[in-house]
C-alpha cells in the first residue's frame, strides 16, 4: 500500500534525475583541435537550434548560440543577410524593426524606407541601408512579448564570421546551418566588388573557414554544415562552388518561391524531387505542410515525407516551439508529445527548434546515445544521477 503510494513519487524523481539536461561547458577561446573533440552524433534526428536558443534569449545573438551549445544542440542555425557595405551578418528579418531598438534611435530616424520584397511593399529599417558599424551600435530584443524580456538591449547583432567562430570555439563538434536569406533582394540592393553575388560571398566565407566536403565525409564530420535556402536557383548556382550538403526550404502552400515563382505543388512533386536531388540532400518544409492544421487540430498527414524519403532526401521541418501559442491541441500542451509524434510517427531526420534544451532532454530520455559516444564527464554525471536516489534514501 505504502509502496503503491510512493511509486509515482519515486518514478517522478527518477525521471527528473535521469532526464536531467546534459550540460556542456561553455565554449572558450582557442579550442581548435577538431580531432580531439567529442564528435557530432549522427544516429538520431538532428537537433537544430533555430536562431540559437531563441526561445530564451534574443535570436541570432552570441548568447543565444552559446546557450544552444550548452543545451546540447547538434547544429546552430542562422540567417545570412548583408549590411550596406557588403558584410554578411546573422539576422532573420530584412527589416530591423521587430528584433532591435532601431526605431528608438534618433540618429536613424531618416532611414525608414519602403521596398518591394517578394511582391509586397514592406516599410521599415532595412539591414542593407546600414553599414556594419551602424548595425553594431544597435541592440537586439526578444521577438515575442510572452518570452523572457530581460536580455533586451544587451546584445549586438553578430557577423557571419563571428557566428562561425562560435561554432569552432565550442568544446565539442557543433555543426552550422546557415540560410542564404532573401538572395534576390540582397543581390538587388548590395553590390560586391568584381560583380560577385551574395551567394559567392557566403560560399567564399565558408571556404575561408575550412567548411567543405560532402555529407558525412571526413571534413564534414569535423565541420558539419548544411546550407539552406528557399531559393532553388541559389542552391543550384552554388552547387558549382561547393560540395557541402544543401537543403531546400519549403514555405507555406500558398507562397511561390522568391526566385523561380514556382508553386508549392510544383516544388514538392516527384518530378521536381528527381530534379532537385542532384543538388540537395534534403528538404526543410514548414511542418504544417506535412501535417495540415485546422482550428489548431492536426489533420491527416500528407505523403510529403514518404515521397521525399523515397527520393533519398532528408526531411528537416521547422519550427518546433514549446509555448501553447504554437503547440497544436493534439499535443496536450506537451512539447515532448510533439517531438515524439514527429520523430516516431512521421519519421523526420532533423528538427528546427526554438527550445534546443527541450528537444535534447527528450532525445536523451527517449533514445539516449550509446555511452561510448559520450565524454567521460557526461558518463560520470550520468552515474551520479543513477546513484543519487539511493544516496538520499
User: Which residues sit at the interface with ligand NAG, rule CB under 6 A?
Assistant: 103, 112, 114, 123, 236-237, 240, 256, 261, 291, 297-298, 330
* 202/298 with CB nearer ligand NAG: 298
- Minimum Å gap between C-beta 183 and ligand NAG is 13
* 114/150 with CB nearer ligand NAG: 114
By DSSP bridging, strand 314-315 and strand 175-180 are unpaired
* 189/197 with CB nearer ligand NAG: 197
Among residues 211, 241, 243, which one has the least CA distance to residue 225?
A: 211
* 214/383 with CB nearer ligand NAG: 214
* 11/297 with CB nearer ligand NAG: 297
- Minimum Å gap between C-beta 104 and ligand NAG is 8
* 64/95 with CB nearer ligand NAG: 95
Torsion of CA 276, 282, 288, 292, to 10 degrees: 60
Q: How far apart are CA 170 and CA 365, in angstroms?
A: 24
- CA contacts within 13 A on the Cβ side of 370: 5
* 247/291 with CB nearer ligand NAG: 291
- Minimum Å gap between C-beta 85 and ligand NAG is 23
Q: What is the distance in angstroms between the CA of the first residue and the CA of the last residue of the chain? A: 19
- Minimum Å gap between C-beta 262 and ligand NAG is 8
Contact 358, 336 (CB under 8 A): yes
- Minimum Å gap between C-beta 52 and ligand NAG is 26
Cβ count near 146 (within 10 Å): 9
* All cell numbers assigned to 124: 521599415
* 300/376 with CB nearer ligand NAG: 300
- Minimum Å gap between C-beta 231 and ligand NAG is 12
Cβ count near 313 (within 10 Å): 19
* 44/197 with CB nearer ligand NAG: 197
Encode burial over 222-232: b for 16+ CB neighbours within 10 A, e otherwise: bbbbbbbbbbb
- Minimum Å gap between C-beta 233 and ligand NAG is 8
- Minimum Å gap between C-beta 341 and ligand NAG is 7
Among residues 285, 243, 227, 215, which one has the least CA distance to residue 42?
A: 215
- Minimum Å gap between C-beta 14 and ligand NAG is 29
Among residues 81, 69, 58, 116, which one has the least CA distance to residue 229?
A: 81
* All cell numbers assigned to 50: 533555430
Amino acid at each position: 500500500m505504502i509502496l503503491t503510494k510512493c511509486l509515482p513519487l519515486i518514478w517522478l524523481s527518477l525521471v527528473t534525475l535521469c532526464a536531467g539536461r546534459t550540460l556542456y561547458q561553455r565554449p572558450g577561446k582557442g579550442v581548435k583541435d577538431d580531432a580531439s573533440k567529442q564528435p557530432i552524433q549522427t544516429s538520431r534526428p538532428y537537433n537544430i537550434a533555430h536562431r540559437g536558443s531563441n526561445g530564451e534569449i534574443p535570436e541570432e545573438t552570441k548568447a543565444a548560440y552559446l546557450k544552444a551549445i550548452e543545451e546540447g544542440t547538434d547544429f546552430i542555425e542562422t540567417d545570412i543577410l548583408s549590411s550596406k557595405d557588403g558584410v554578411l551578418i546573422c539576422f532573420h528579418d530584412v527589416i530591423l524593426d521587430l528584433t532591435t531598438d532601431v526605431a528608438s534611435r534618433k540618429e536613424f530616424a531618416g532611414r525608414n524606407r519602403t521596398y518591394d520584397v517578394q511582391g509586397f511593399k514592406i516599410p521599415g529599417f532595412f539591414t542593407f541601408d546600414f553599414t556594419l558599424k551602424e548595425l553594431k551600435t544597435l541592440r537586439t530584443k526578444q521577438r515575442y512579448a510572452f518570452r523572457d524580456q530581460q536580455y533586451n538591449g544587451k546584445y549586438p547583432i553578430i557577423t557571419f564570421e563571428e557566428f562561425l567562430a562560435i561554432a569552432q570555439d565550442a568544446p565539442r563538434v557543433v555543426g552550422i546551418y546557415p540560410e542564404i536569406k532573401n538572395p534576390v533582394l540582397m543581390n538587388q540592393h548590395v553590390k560586391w566588388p568584381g560583380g560577385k553575388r551574395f551567394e559567392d560571398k557566403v560560399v567564399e566565407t565558408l571556404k575561408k573557414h575550412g567548411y567543405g566536403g560532402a555529407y558525412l565525409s571526413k571534413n564534414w564530420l569535423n565541420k558539419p554544415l548544411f546550407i539552406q535556402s528557399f531559393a532553388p536557383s541559389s542552391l543550384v548556382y552554388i552547387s558549382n562552388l561547393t560540395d557541402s550538403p544543401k537543403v531546400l526550404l519549403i514555405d507555406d502552400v500558398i507562397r511561390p518561391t522568391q526566385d523561380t515563382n514556382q508553386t508549392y505543388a510544383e516544388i514538392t512533386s516527384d518530378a521536381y524531387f528527381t530534379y532537385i536531388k542532384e543538388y540537395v540532400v534534403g528538404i526543410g518544409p514548414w511542418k504544417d505542410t506535412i501535417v495540415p492544421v485546422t482550428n489548431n487540430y492536426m489533420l491527416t498527414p500528407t505523403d510529403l515525407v514518404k515521397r521525399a524519403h523515397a527520393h533519398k532526401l532528408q526531411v528537416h521541418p521547422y519550427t518546433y516551439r514549446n509555448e501553447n501559442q504554437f503547440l497544436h491541441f493534439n499535443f496536450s500542451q506537451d512539447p515532448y508529445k510533439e517531438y515524439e509524434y514527429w520523430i516516431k510517427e512521421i519519421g523526420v531526420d532533423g528538427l528546427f527548434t526554438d527550445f534546443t534544451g527541450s528537444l535534447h532532454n527528450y532525445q536523451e530520455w527517449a533514445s539516449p546515445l550509446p555511452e561510448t559516444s559520450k565524454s567521460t564527464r557526461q558518463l560520470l554525471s550520468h552515474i551520479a544521477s543513477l546513484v543519487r536516489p539511493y544516496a538520499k534514501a
